[in-house]
Structure formats: structure tokens, C-alpha cells
């Protein structure tokens, strides 16, 4: 990516997709500000100064889907304005596209402001909404277990930050401070990425060029490794629930690079990514210990996290089995056939990205910002070239750090 | 092979029936790397009584879902592994009215379609394998027992329905699944998995003629018992079961639903389904004064939803509004007052026009995604409708139709469900 613009032309989809990305450093305070700001800005804007006016307009524009997403990636919080809208070729209205882009720009550049600060009443309402959202994590036991686990596993790292922010930080935010945070954010040159039908392309580009400067691309994520020098930490929490939730966190003792990235993707595919993996086949199908078990690889922190829903009394056996599977993989107990299957699964997953506009845009943006390869065909080539012996060496860099159990006390 | 071109969305649907009665639909998406295939039987959790050979059979709660799990088990090969080797992934799901087996592939489409047909059209069961599956399904049921939104939904159906099978949890319960035997599953399989009770939809990038030949050849090689059955619905009184249902769980706020049992079709079924969706958007969307008033007073949180569901095959229809709140008494009073006011005042031409434009966009958007195309088509088709006629039916809906439907918000058939925090 040479500049902060990357707009692809494609007529494959019936919609267009545009994303405008800003970055904020990932801190406890900033994640709370970014969460609240995303809710304030997505509510209305100066041109459409109420929720009804703004969202009736989007509905009138053939159900355009606008939202703001925030996520923690590496050392940054990504703040993405995105809109998906029907291509003009299906719409018999010449003003459609201009109006559509006008409201999208208004959400980004023209927030509702009163006397050099954000609207007090809307900020109060959004603070209430965010406080309730933070509180509601308690009610989704899977989400709760993972958030509580991450607090322990990645304390002092961006990965350990609560995804929606913190009540104590939220209490300190007012309409002036939030407006100042917005101004700081908008001082950046955003990174703009999209997939646009060719007959809509010129109009979209001319409008984007009017609003945003083209500059050299220089925004990269800083990835990190979580240190793991102490003995395994076990945390058990009890709640009045039926099924216990088990989370295990593994660190990788190697800095991620474009050379070793694919090794860990494949290790995760073999270990627990899908129904072809060892965790699924052994812990679920062979030992019947659970319905859900999976592992995820996070390339920003170079970690692997295993999640399972189990019966309380199966806790020790499940932990033993999960670790035993990994130990056996370290010792090279991987069938060549399973390895080839894992490669095919990964290639299939990569190929499927081609069918989603938002998937492609985010793949391109995130990979570029990680300084990793950003071409799907190169990914496939790299995976095909890997040998089983290449990855066995790497498995030995994986080490258990934290075991978390949200224990039900109602197990039968 | 039938060919139908749809100009608005620039798509062509091909269809044919195999000699054994299997209905096949093929839709090509050029430029897509993925192909999605879904093989569906009209056997879901609502199919709980059927007549065959003059005998009435009761289906055990959760049996359709149990069968879905067991279908993947084969003595000579692993279904998931085979799909993986063919650059595909596979899955399945069971809902009220169907069980669907699917694959999503980026290569070898014909081979993957054959694998899909073959693994679903050959049931291998043993007492041991059934016994092994029970704790896995029990674990799935336990997962849903902790899901407060799922519990709210099914508890509210318990408050509305005496006998209708829609009130039964799709996976059954821990007691019912432990009573399921090999013989039960073979019986259900023989009747419900007959090709004439099934549909195949393939959407993506493939050679049309070659795929049609593969499907026909595959089906012509197989023989099926000539069996027929008739679905029976239990008699359901018009009245609700309980004015209020309360369940305690480990949650932070009260999960609250306000539901209406709908006993009448005031319009043609598809028209009523669409018109109710439009009406609910006009009355209850987050842009409405209804939601904004409650939210601005901080009486509810943004975790809010509303839905209308109907199925004339299984004789159920209901309206459900779901909230997250702290003061349930305030909400009950507010809703009781709201539904006794003149709701016609909230229906106007401007909102109607806006929502119609949104529906046109949402309809076109379906055709971006092979999964959405196939799943939407099959869902409408099982209910007896044609996905491609939705916009035509929508254009026939008038403001007068919407006003007519307001009588379905009848408080005589209203039930409140609460999931409350444990003390």
C-alpha cells in the first residue's frame, strides 16, 4: 500500500463497501473513550441531528448499513467507520449515490456539536448505554469467561483490555473531553479502503478526494509477545450456571514475522481450529467431554487460546487431554495425512475471503498494517510450501501460561 | 431443466426434479470462489406427530436434532475429513421446520455435492454410537440452559402454547434424548429423509450441465422405500397458557418479553408475514418514539428486539418484544397502556415508503451471499412461498392492510416472561 487509499473496483457484488480507519493507542482510558465516541458518532450528525432522521435516511437509501467498529489490534485500537450500500446499477435514482456518500461523510466529519462540545444529553444517554453494555457481559457466560480469562492472561498488554471499556474511566468522561478526543482522532490522515462497483467508482473517488488528503502510507501495528516466565496460573471462579467454561492460554516464544506466521496458522488448524482438529476429534468425539471446543490463534499477541464448555467434574481430565495433545504434537505425533488436511482447510478458509467485501477490505488493511503479506494467492502458496518438519520445530515454542475455569455449581 | 431469469437482481435460477422426487435448485455466481450446497429435509423440532400406514407416531423431543448429529458418523470414513480433503467444510443445523446439511467449498464442487448427497442418504447407527452421542448433546443443551436470551425465547413460548410443538426446545431436554433408540431414529429417517421430502440448493461457481448430470446420476443409482406420511399438529386452544412466566438465572438485569399469540390469518399467509414485519418496523424500530421514549427515560437498555414469526404448516404465529430492564413493573404498565391506545396514529405513508425502500435494498443484498440465497430460498420454500416473489407481494401491501393487522395485538392473548436475577 503506497498511500492511505486503496479502493478496488469489482462488479462481483451487488453492494459497495467503504471503510475509513483511524487509530488510537490501546490503553485502558482510550478504549473507554473510543467505545463511547463510536456510540455518539453513530447516533446522529449535524445534517441529520436525531437518530430517527439519520437512520430513516439510511433506510430510504435502500437500507444502507452504516456502523462504527472498534477493535484492539497490536498496540492500537482501530476505529473504523464503514458503510455497505447497494450499487447505483440497481437503483433508478440519479441522486442516490451522492446522498449516500453525503450522509456517510456527515457521520465522520460533522458530528452534532453545541458550543464547542458534544451534545450533553446524547453523551449522557450514550454513557448509560455503554454502562449497561459493560454490565451485560456478565449475562453472556461465554463472553464473560473469555474477558475474565484475558484479564489474567494478558494483564498489562492490549489483549487484556476489556473490549467495551471500563466503568471507572467512563465515569470521568464528559461532553468536552469526548469532543477533544474526537478532534485528536480526526487530526490524523485516515486509511481508506473499499470495494466499489466500476460504474460507481468515479463518483465515490471524487467525493473521497474532496474530503480526505492522499498521503504516504505509514501506519503499522506494533505486534508483541506476552512474557511467560512463571509457573502456570490457574484461576477458578464460581457462578450459578449449568455448564462450566474452560479457557487455556498459550504464549509463543518467538516474535512473529512474515516467515513464521504461516507455521502458527497451521499449528492452530491442526490443534483446534475446526472439526478436523485434534481437540475436536479427541476431546469431543473420542472422549465425549464437550459439545464446544476450539482454539484461536491471535497474530497480534502471538498467542493461542483454547475454549471449551464442559461439565465441572471433567475439568481436570479436559485440561490434561488438551495439554497432552499439544505435548504429543511437540514430539512429532502428527500424521502426515492430518497435516495435509490442515493445509487444505487453511487454503479453503483463505479462498473464502474472496466472497466477502468487508472480509477482503479488513484482510488487506490488517495484513498491510501488520507488515505481513496481503495477497491471498501468496498466502496459499506459502501454506502449500510448508513441510510437517517445519512446523514441529515451532510447536516447541508454545507454552501454557494460564488456565481459567468459570465453574458451574449446578452440574448434575 | 427449468430456467428463470430475474431482472431486478440479475440472477438466473435453474431447477429440476429428480425421478425420486428430490427437488434441485442451482444458481450460478460467476466470479465467486466459494460454492455453497445445502441438502434439506422437512424434518424439524416441530414435526412431533405423524401418520404412516394408518398408525400415529409421536416423535421424541429433540429427535430431529439427534439424527442430525448421528448422520455424520460413518463406519468406513469420516465425513468432515472427506470434505476437508475436497477443499470444503461441512456443517448442519436443525430448526423448527427443517434439518439442513451443508458444505461450503472452494474446489471440487461436483465431488462435494455427491459427498453431501451420499452421507445424508445413508444412515449408519449402532446402539453404542447412540449412547456415545448422548453426553455431547446433553452438553449442547446445558450450553443453552445458561443462555438467558435463549431461555427467554423458549419460556415465552411456554407461556403462549399448550400443545403446539413450537414450544419444545429444538435439542429436546436431557431426559428426552436419553430415551432415544436406534429403532426410533431409523423410523424417522425412513419417512422424513425420503428424497420427495427433501430439497437440494447449490449456489456458487460451477459448471451447470455437469453438476445437473452428476446429481441425476447419483440419485438414479439409489433406491428408496416407497413410504409416505402425513404430519399432524396437536390441537391448540386459542387461549394462552399463562399471563406471566418467571425464571431465575444468574443474570445482572431482568430479561423481559411481551408476547402475543396470533390465532388468525387476516391476509394471505405470505402477505401477512411481510406486512407484519413492515408493521413491526413502523411501530417498534429503534427510530420510533416507542423505543426512544423508553430508552431516553433509561427504562430499557439497547439490548432490545422485536419479531413476528409464523408457520402455517405447524399452525403457530406469535409476536414477541424483548427487553432488558431493571424496573419490570414500570415496563408492564407502559406496555399495557401502549397497546390499549389507538395504534393507528403511528402508521403513516412516509414511514411506510421508507421501510419499503429498505426492504428492496435488503432483498438485493441477499444475492451477494451464496449462503443467504440458498438458506432464504429453502426457508421460504418449505413454508410454501417463493423467495423471488417477495417484492411483488410487498408491493401489494397497503396501509389499510397494516391497520387491519393491528387487531393481532390483542391483550387477551398476551403473555409476559421474565428472566430475573437470582437473589
DSSP label at residue B213: H
pLDDT of residue A410: 56
Query: Which residues 238-277 of B have a C-beta within 8 angstroms of A?
Result: 249-253, 255
Tell me which DSSP letter residue A160 carries. Answer: G
Q: Which chain B positions have a beta carbon within 8 Å of A43's beta carbon?
A: none
Contact A125 B296 (CB under 8 A): yes
Q: In angstroms, rounded to a whole number, what is the distance separating the alpha carbons of residues B59 and B231?
A: 11
Q: Does B369 touch chain A (CB under 8 A)?
A: yes
Q: Which residues of B touch A347 (CB under 8 A)?
A: 87, 106
| Average pLDDT, integer, range B17-44 | 96
Pair A76, A170: CB distance under 8 Å:
no
What DSSP designation does A45 have?
Answer: -
Out of B30, B105, B362, closest to residue A63 by CB: B362
Cβ of A129 within 8 Å of Cβ of B84? The answer is no
| β-strands B316-325, B254-261 pairing | antiparallel
Chain A residues 45-74 with a CB less than 8 Å from chain B: 51-52, 55-56, 59-64
Instruction: Name the grid cell of B131.
Output: 449412547
Q: Is A12 on the interface with B (CB under 8 A)?
A: yes
Q: Is B365 on the interface with A (CB under 8 A)?
A: yes
Other CB atoms closer than 10 Å to residue A315's CB: what's the count?
19
Q: Which three cell numbers stand for residue A231?
A: 509457573
d(CA A273, CA A263): 14
In the residue annotation, B114 being an active-site residue is answered as no
**How large is the average pLDDT for residues B334-351?**
97
Torsion of CA A372, A378, A380, A383, to 10 degrees: -60
CA distance B373 to B6: 13
User: According to the model, what pLDDT value does residue A412 have?
Assistant: 44
* pLDDT average, residue stretch B335-347: 97
**Mean of the per-residue pLDDT values for chain A?**
95
Residue A92 has pLDDT above 90, yes or no: no
Give the residue from A72, A185, A175 showing the smallest Cα distance to A115.
A175
Q: Which chain A residues contact residue B303 at CB under 8 A?
A: 132-133, 136
Please give the average per-residue pLDDT across B325-329, as a whole number: 97
Statement: residue A411 has pLDDT above 80: no
E strand or H helix that includes residue B169: none
CB of B284 closer than 8 Å to CB of B321? yes
DSSP A355: G
**CA–CA gap between residue B365 and residue B179 (Å, rounded):** 44
Residue of B nearest to A50 (CA): B287
A94-105 residue pLDDT tens: 899 999 999 999
Nearest Cα to Cα of residue A305 among A252, A344, A244, A231 = A252
> What is the mean predicted confidence (pLDDT) over A60-87?
97
Average pLDDT over every residue of A340-346: 94
Q: pLDDT tens digits, residue range A211-269?
A: 998 899 888 999 999 999 989 999 999 999 999 999 999 999 999 998 899 999 999 99
Residue B143 class from Cβ within 10 Å (0-12 exposed, 13-18 middle, 19+ buried)?
A: buried
**Quick one: cell of A273?**
481450529
Across chain B, mean pLDDT equals 96
Mean pLDDT of the A328-332 span: 97
Per-residue pLDDT of A375-394, as tens digits, reads: 999 999 999 999 999 999 99
Model confidence at A176, pLDDT cuts 50, 70, 90, reads very high
Residue A130 has pLDDT above 80, yes or no: yes
Question: pLDDT exceeding 70 applies to what percent of chain B?
Answer: 100
Secondary structure (3-state) at A112: coil
The band of A409, judged by pLDDT with boundaries at 50, 70 and 90, is low
Question: pTM (2 decimals)?
Answer: 0.94
Asked whether the beta carbons of residue A136 and residue B253 sit closer than 8 angstroms, the reply is yes
CB contact under 8 A, A354 and B32: yes
pLDDT of the residue at A1: 77
Amino acid at each position: 500500500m503506497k498511500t492511505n487509499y486503496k479502493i478496488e473496483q469489482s462488479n462481483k457484488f451487488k453492494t459497495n463497501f467503504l471503510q475509513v480507519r483511524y487509530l488510537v493507542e490501546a490503553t485502558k482510558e482510550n478504549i473507554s473513550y473510543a467505545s463511547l465516541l463510536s456510540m455518539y458518532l453513530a447516533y446522529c450528525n449535524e445534517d441529520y441531528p436525531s437518530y430517527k432522521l439519520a437512520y430513516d435516511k439510511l433506510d430510504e437509501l435502500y437500507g444502507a448499513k452504516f456502523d462504527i467498529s472498534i477493535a484492539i489490534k497490536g498496540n492500537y485500537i482501530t476505529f473504523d467507520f464503514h458503510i455497505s450500500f447497494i450499487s447505483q446499477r440497481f437503483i433508478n435514482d440519479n441522486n442516490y449515490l451522492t446522498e449516500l456518500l453525503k450522509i456517510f461523510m456527515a457521520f465522520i466529519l460533522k458530528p452534532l456539536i453545541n458550543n464547542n462540545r458534544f451534545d450533553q444529553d446524547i453523551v449522557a444517554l450514550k454513557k448509560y448505554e455503554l454502562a449497561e453494555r459493560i454490565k451485560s457481559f456478565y449475562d453472556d457466560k461465554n463472553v464473560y469467561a473469555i474477558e475474565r480469562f484475558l484479564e489474567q492472561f494478558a494483564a498489562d498488554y492490549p489483549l487484556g483490555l476489556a473490549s467495551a471499556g471500563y466503568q471507572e474511566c467512563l465515569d470521568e468522561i464528559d461532553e468536552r473531553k469526548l469532543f477533544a478526543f474526537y478532534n485528536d482522532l480526526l487530526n490524523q490522515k485516515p486509511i481508506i479502503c473499499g470495494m466499489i462497483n466500476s460504474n460507481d467508482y468515479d463518483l465515490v473517488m471524487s467525493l473521497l478526494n474532496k474530503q480526505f488528503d492522499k498521503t504516504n502510507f505509514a501506519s503499522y501495528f506494533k505486534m508483541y509477545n506476552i512474557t511467560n516466565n512463571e509457573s502456570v496460573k490457574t484461576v477458578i471462579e464460581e457462578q450459578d450456571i449449568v455448564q462450566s467454561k474452560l479457557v487455556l492460554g498459550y504464549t509463543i516464544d518467538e516474535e512473529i514475522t512474515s516467515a513464521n506466521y504461516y507455521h502458527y496458522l497451521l499449528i492452530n488448524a491442526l490443534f483446534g481450529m475446526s472439526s478436523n482438529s485434534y481437540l475436536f476429534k479427541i476431546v469431543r468425539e473420542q472422549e465425549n467431554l464437550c459439545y464446544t471446543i476450539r482454539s484461536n490463534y491471535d497474530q497480534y499477541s502471538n498467542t493461542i487460546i483454547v475454549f471449551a464448555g464442559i461439565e465441572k467434574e471433567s475439568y481436570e481430565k479436559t485440561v490434561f487431554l488438551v495439554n497432552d495433545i499439544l505435548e504429543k504434537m511437540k514430539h512429532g505425533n502428527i500424521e502426515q495425512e492430518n497435516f495435509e488436511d490442515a493445509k487444505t482447510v487453511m487454503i479453503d478458509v483463505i479462498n473464502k475471503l474472496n466472497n466477502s467485501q468487508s472480509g477482503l477490505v479488513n484482510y488487506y488493511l490488517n495484513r498491510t498494517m501488520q507488515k505481513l503479506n496481503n495477497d491471498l494467492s501468496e498466502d496459499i502458496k506459502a501454506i502449500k510450501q510448508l513441510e510437517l518438519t517445519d512446523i514441529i520445530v515451532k510447536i516447541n515454542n508454545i507454552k501454557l501460561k494460564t488456565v481459567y475455569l468459570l465453574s458451574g455449581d449446578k452440574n448434575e | 431443466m427449468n430456467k428463470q431469469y430475474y431482472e431486478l437482481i440479475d440472477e438466473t435460477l435453474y431447477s429440476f426434479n429428480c425421478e425420486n422426487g428430490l427437488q434441485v435448485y442451482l444458481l450460478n455466481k460467476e466470479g465467486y470462489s466459494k460454492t455453497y450446497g445445502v441438502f434439506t429435509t422437512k424434518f424439524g423440532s416441530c414435526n412431533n406427530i405423524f401418520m404412516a400406514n394408518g398408525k400415529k407416531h409421536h416423535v421424541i423431543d429433540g429427535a430431529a436434532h439427534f439424527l442430525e448429529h448421528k448422520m455424520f458418523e460413518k463406519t468406513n470414513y469420516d465425513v468432515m475429513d472427506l470434505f476437508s480433503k475436497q477443499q470444503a467444510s461441512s456443517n448442519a443445523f436443525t430448526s423448527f421446520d427443517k434439518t439442513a446439511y451443508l458444505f461450503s467449498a472452494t474446489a471440487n464442487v461436483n465431488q462435494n455435492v455427491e459427498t453431501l448427497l451420499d452421507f445424508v442418504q445413508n444412515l449408519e447407527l449402532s446402539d453404542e454410537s447412540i449412547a456415545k452421542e448422548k453426553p455431547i448433546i446433553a452438553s449442547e443443551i446445558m450450553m443453552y440452559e445458561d443462555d438467558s436470551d435463549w431461555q427467554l425465547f423458549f419460556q415465552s413460548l411456554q407461556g403462549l402454547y399448550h400443545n403446539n410443538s413450537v414450544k419444545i426446545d429444538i435439542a429436546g431436554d436431557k431426559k428426552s434424548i436419553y430415551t432415544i433408540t436406534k429403532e426410533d431414529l431409523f423410523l424417522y429417517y425412513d419417512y422424513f429423509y425420503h428424497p420427495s421430502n427433501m430439497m437440494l440448493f447449490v449456489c456458487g461457481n460451477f459448471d451447470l450441465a455437469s453438476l445437473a448430470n452428476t446429481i441425476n446420476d447419483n440419485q438414479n443409482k439409489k433406491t428408496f422405500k416407497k413410504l409416505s406420511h402425513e404430519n399432524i399438529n396437536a390441537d391448540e386452544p386459542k387461549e394462552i397458557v399463562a399471563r406471566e412466566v418467571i425464571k431465575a438465572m444468574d443474570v445482572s438485569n431482568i430479561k423481559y418479553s411481551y408476547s402475543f399469540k396470533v390465532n388468525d390469518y387476516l391476509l394471505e399467509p405470505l402477505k401477512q408475514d411481510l406486512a407484519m414485519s413492515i408493521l413491526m418496523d413502523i411501530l417498534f424500530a429503534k427510530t420510533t418514539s416507542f423505543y426512544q421514549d423508553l430508552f431516553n427515560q433509561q427504562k430499557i437498555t439497547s439490548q432490545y428486539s422485536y419479531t413476528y414469526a409464523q408457520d402455517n404448516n405447524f399452525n403457530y404465529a406469535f409476536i414477541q418484544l424483548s427487553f432488558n430492564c431493571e424496573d419490570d413493573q414500570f415496563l408492564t404498565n407502559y406496555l399495557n397502556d401502549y397497546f390499549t391506545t389507538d395504534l393507528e396514529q403511528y402508521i403513516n405513508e412516509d414511514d411506510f415508503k421508507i421501510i419499503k425502500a429498505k426492504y428492496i435494498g435488503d432483498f438485493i443484498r441477499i444475492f451477494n451471499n451464496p449462503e443467504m440465497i440458498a438458506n432464504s430460498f429453502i426457508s421460504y420454500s418449505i413454508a410454501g412461498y417463493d423467495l423471488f416473489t417477495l417484492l411483488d407481494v410487498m408491493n401489494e401491501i397497503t396501509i389499510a392492510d397494516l391497520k387491519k393487522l393491528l387487531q393481532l395485538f390483542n391483550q387477551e392473548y398476551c403473555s409476559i416472561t421474565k428472566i430475573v436475577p437470582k437473589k
